[in-house]
C-alpha cells in the first residue's frame, strides 16, 4: 500500500467532510466520530461533488438528486445512483490523515 499524506487530522472536526486532491484525483475525507473515511468526491450518478452534500454519520448524500452512499464500503443506499462509490483505506499517523488511492 502506498499511503499519501492528505491533511492534518486536527483540521477536520468530527461530523465534517472536506475535499483534497491526491495525484490529480478529488478525494472526499470525512471525520465520523474520530474515524476518518475516504472516497471519490464525485457522485456516481452525475459527477457532482459529494462534499457539497450532507454527511449523516457514515452516510453521504449527493446535493443534486439525493443519492446516498455508505462511506465505509461505497454501497449505494438510495437511488438514482446505481454504481457504488469507490472508497479508500485511511490511516492516521503522527496526526496526519493518510489515504491509499493506489
- Average pLDDT of every residue of the chain: 96
- Average pLDDT on 28-47 reads 96
Which domain covers residue 19, as residue numbers? 4-99
Cell digits of residue 101: 488511492
The per-residue pLDDT for 56 is 96
CA-based R_g, the chain, Å = 13
Of all residues in the chain, what percent carry a pLDDT higher than 90?
96
Point out which residues pair with 90 in neighbouring strands.
99
**Number of independent structural domains in the chain:** 1
Task: State how far the Cα of 98 lies from the Cα of 91, in Å rounded to an integer.
Answer: 5
Tell me: the pLDDT tens digits for 73-92?
A: 999 999 999 999 999 999 99
* Domain CATH number, residue 18: 2.102.10.10
Task: Please write the tens of the pLDDT for every residue from 3-26.
Answer: 999 999 999 999 999 999 999 999
Amino acid at each position: 500500500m502506498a499511503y499519501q499524506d492528505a491533511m492534518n487530522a486536527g483540521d477536520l472536526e468530527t461530523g465534517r467532510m472536506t475535499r483534497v486532491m491526491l495525484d490529480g484525483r478529488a478525494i472526499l475525507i470525512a471525520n465520523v466520530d474520530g474515524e476518518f473515511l475516504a472516497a471519490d468526491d464525485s457522485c456516481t450518478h452525475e459527477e457532482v461533488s459529494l462534499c457539497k452534500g450532507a454527511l449523516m454519520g457514515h452516510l453521504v448524500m449527493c446535493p443534486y438528486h439525493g443519492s446516498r452512499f455508505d462511506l465505509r464500503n461505497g454501497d449505494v443506499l438510495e437511488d438514482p445512483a446505481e454504481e457504488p462509490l469507490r472508497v479508500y483505506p485511511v490511516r492516521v499517523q503522527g496526526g496526519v490523515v493518510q489515504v491509499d488511492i493506489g
